[in-house]
Structure 1
Amino acid sequence: MTDFGNEGLAELYRRPGSVSTVYADVTQAGEDPRRTSALRHRTLRESLEAAGAPSGDADTIVELIEEPPGVPGKVSRLMVVRGGKVEFNELLPGEPLGELIASFGPVPGLIPLFTQRPRDLSYVVAEVGRDGGEIRLFRLSQADPVAEEDVQGDTEYITKVQVGFLSNSRYQRDTEEIWKRNEGQVADAIDEIVRDSGAELLVVTGDVRARQLLVAQLARATRDILTVVPTNTRPGGATTHDLEEDLDRHLASILAQDEYDALERLESGRGEGLAEIDFAAVVRLLQQGQVEVLILDPAGLAGTTLIALDREPWVAATSADALGAGELGEVAAADALARAATLTDARVVVVSHGELPGDSTAGALLRWSTLPATPEASATSEASATSEAE
């Protein structure tokens, strides 16, 4: 099953009390660090003060924002602090959505997270040589590997001898067989990690011959998610630039495909009662727990608010729609909808303005059809139930 990371976010959304949220560009710059830091602190405090955040939250966020990102290239940081305590602190690699976004209210502002990391997919990086390889399992939400395995193979005759004697051909064959056996061990380990983790991408780099022998021994399901980076990052001091670029490109492609597939389903499902693009209807369907995928256009929703609730149905357009739940307050519609989706185990997909059909600002892919059952369908259902009873 694909992991969308909803469990942890749902817990964050359920916690009571107003919360400060800051999204900031923390890309390492070549400017004067002291001057940059002072300007950042002042701007950050002014933005939080304008949003109504307490000074204790601001103090904590200022400390967080000074933590070195530890990753190359463009990167932003999303921080959620409540009562001066850190509840969420995540780096989001990629082009930042802006310099600074700060808010304070009953609901964390997690739209930047859904935009840049819509789900917490797993991927595997394997760096191989003729003596074995290193395998690392990653998740998008973590900079460090969540699991690592170092496979050490047989090193006897690891280097082929120079040709020239008749007896050398036997050593050549023995050496090739050792390489193949070593990479077979690596392939078995990779297959197991991919199978157990549900990884959606495998990136292999390393020695040319080792890569060839490895790929030939991977299971079919593992080869289906494979990409090979034609560079060797194992030798000491070898650059990982090509590996990082290729990895970023393939991860972005997977997430872009998610968005494309969601929009395609939105278009094809409307005639079957399996998709909705009317804003009021989307809110109502979220209240009913019928939404499987929520598609949001935050730019189109700018200035629109909804009421966040302390329990089901989690969101309402008016107090009359709260169905007895306590009102946390009016919040930005995009945040209220994303929260309701997460709390009902729906996936959130953020799209650019204009990508939704017509002038829609929100869409929904549904768990079951909203169309009334036809007489034919009812008759088929009844016949099936009768058959099962017999």
Structure 2
Amino acid sequence: MTIGKDLRNAVQTPGSWTTAYTDGTSDEPQTVEEAREGRTLRQLADRGAPEGDVDAIRDVLQERTGGANPTTLFLLAHNGEIVVREEFVGPRHGPEVFEHGPLPVLVPLLRHRGKMLRYLVVETSRDGADVCLEIAGQRDGTTSERVEGRTDSLPKVQAGGWSQPRWQRHSEEIWKHTQSEVAEVVERLTREASPAFIALAGDVRARQLLRDQLSPESAKLVVEVDANTRADGSDDSALREAIEHALDDVFAREMSGAIDATQAEGGRLRAEGVDAVVAALQQAQVSQLFLDARMIAAPSDDDVATLGALDAEPWVAADGAAFEAATEIARQPVAEALARAAVLTDAHVRICEDEPEADDAVREERDARPPFALLRW
């Protein structure tokens, strides 16, 4: 994942930081959203957030945009200004967080950002196409292009006559030319953005013609959806459902591949357990850090295990450890302290989610699994 400069500075620099992770706007009645806003602001004040930070967060919460889907807000305030503001489509991944302290709360944001894959959505028809580069969890596409094809062809089904085959061939050539233009856009965006997959919907014949003109590399990325979303009166529910399934498949493959990498060569590049992972992070040796979602606790939980967060390298320390060039800023829950050190040493943080495969399945009762890491060497 990409960590912005503002966030990196925030987790590196001790100071006065206020974190709010809560539900964003939705299609709920305004009275419900106002009640939630009031509760959020009271909890922040109870946690010791300064008035300036609370006011800045209030301004964001009052920007009600509505929408059919729920959203989630992550806000980080410092000295009365919003330093990090992220809004994600979909429900929260875990409990709300309202905290004020010397360091921001990081894991809820990383949990969302870890699923921000880019993908292409292509909705094509015989007279053109809409191509959009989207990011999972984001409301708007980063790039959207429309291809307008020629409209001087006749429908393929015509009354009989000696000229009908000629008009069919003419129409087919125009459709091929249109899909060639669409393919050029798809290939360019694929080169530039490296999407995880290409969701393809639209007219059946247009989809066939487009696939025929894609490169083998791009064709392998296509997830075809049997729905003509450009037809009058159509909806995109089948397309959106296919995209969700494709995202789940990509996440599962990526996680499985990363975990397999930690077990290669007899586990030589794997560190497991808090002590081993702390030692690897202190050497900037971690390439990917894996945290069980059940490790994620509210920062105010008095019973959660903690580690020392340091103001300089090596950034994290176990109990009783001392370093000449670094001082402990605060005690943080284990997941937070490890994630902070990972961010500051350019390691990728992966949250191992623990959701049942079936909607009606019972969630397994177990303790959190220990953290582990894929090492650079």
Structure 2 unaligned spans of 5+: 298-303, 355-362
Aligned to 2:309: 308
Aligned to 1:383: none
Aligned 1:1-390 pairs, distance under 5 A: 4-8=1-5, 9-26=7-24, 28=26, 30=28, 32-34=29-31, 36-68=32-64, 71-98=67-94, 100-140=96-136, 142-160=138-156, 162-235=158-231, 238-266=234-262, 268-269=263-264, 271-300=266-295, 302=297, 303-318=304-319, 320-352=321-353, 360-368=369-377
Q: 1:248 to 1:117 in 2, by over 3 A?
A: farther
SS of the aligned residue for 1:156 comes to coil
Q: TM-score, normalised by structure 2?
A: 0.86
Q: 1:255 to 1:108 in 2, by over 3 A?
A: farther
Q: 1:119 to 1:13 in 2, by over 3 A?
A: farther
SS of the aligned residue for 2:161 comes to coil
Asked whether the equivalents of residues 26 and 69 of structure 1 are also in contact (C-alpha less than 8 Å), the reply is no
Asked whether the equivalents of residues 122 and 197 of structure 1 are also in contact (C-alpha less than 8 Å), the reply is yes
Please say which of residues 327-336 and 231-240 is displaced more in the overlay.
231-240
Q: 1:196 to 1:225 in 2, by over 3 A?
A: same
SS of the aligned residue for 2:151 comes to coil
Asked whether the equivalents of residues 156 and 171 of structure 2 are also in contact (C-alpha less than 8 Å), the reply is yes
Q: 1:83 to 1:54 in 2, by over 3 A?
A: same
Asked whether the equivalents of residues 69 and 90 of structure 2 are also in contact (C-alpha less than 8 Å), the reply is yes
Q: Deviations over 1:66-87 (max 9, x none)?
A: 3336553343211111122112
Q: Distance in 1 between matches of 2:65 and 2:345?
A: 33
Deviation of 1:214 (Å): 0.8
Q: 1:359 to 1:45 in 2, by over 3 A?
A: closer
2:23 partner letter? D
Q: Distance in 1 between matches of 2:376 and 2:258?
A: 13
Q: Distance in 2 between matches of 1:322 and 1:44?
A: 39
Asked whether the equivalents of residues 94 and 116 of structure 1 are also in contact (C-alpha less than 8 Å), the reply is no
Q: Deviations over 1:299-358 (max 9, x none)?
A: 336412222223322222246444412433222221121111112111111124799x99
Aligned length: 361
Q: 1:7 to 1:177 in 2, by over 3 A?
A: same
Please say which of residues 63-72 and 182-191 is displaced more in the overlay.
63-72
Q: Deviations over 1:162-217 (max 9, x none)?
A: 14111221111111111011101101210111111111121112222111111121
Q: Distance in 2 between matches of 1:7 and 1:22?
A: 18
SS of the aligned residue for 1:6 comes to coil
Structure 1 unaligned spans of 5+: 369-390
Deviation of 1:28 (Å): 2.5
SS of the aligned residue for 2:144 comes to strand
Deviation of 1:269 (Å): 4.0
Q: 1:15 to 1:134 in 2, by over 3 A?
A: farther
Deviation of 1:265 (Å): 3.4
Deviation of 1:11 (Å): 4.2
1:311 partner letter? A
Q: Distance in 1 between matches of 2:9 and 2:83?
A: 10
Q: Deviations over 1:1-42 (max 9, x none)?
A: xxx113444344335522111111236254x422x2342133
Root-mean-square deviation over aligned CA pairs:
2.7
Q: Deviations over 1:55-113 (max 9, x none)?
A: 22122222322333655334321111112211222222334235622112232222222
2:337 partner letter? A
SS of the aligned residue for 1:44 comes to helix
Asked whether the equivalents of residues 5 and 119 of structure 1 are also in contact (C-alpha less than 8 Å), the reply is no
Q: 1:74 to 1:361 in 2, by over 3 A?
A: farther
SS of the aligned residue for 2:73 comes to strand
Asked whether the equivalents of residues 127 and 135 of structure 1 are also in contact (C-alpha less than 8 Å), the reply is yes
Identity of aligned residues (%): 35
The answer to which structure has the higher helix fraction is 1
Q: 1:185 to 1:359 in 2, by over 3 A?
A: closer
Asked whether the equivalents of residues 134 and 142 of structure 2 are also in contact (C-alpha less than 8 Å), the reply is yes
2:16 partner letter? S
Q: Distance in 2 between matches of 1:148 and 1:29?
A: 26
Aligned to 2:357: none
Q: Distance in 2 between matches of 1:269 and 1:70?
A: 48
Q: 1:199 to 1:216 in 2, by over 3 A?
A: same
Aligned to 2:301: none
Q: Distance in 1 between matches of 2:189 and 2:154?
A: 26
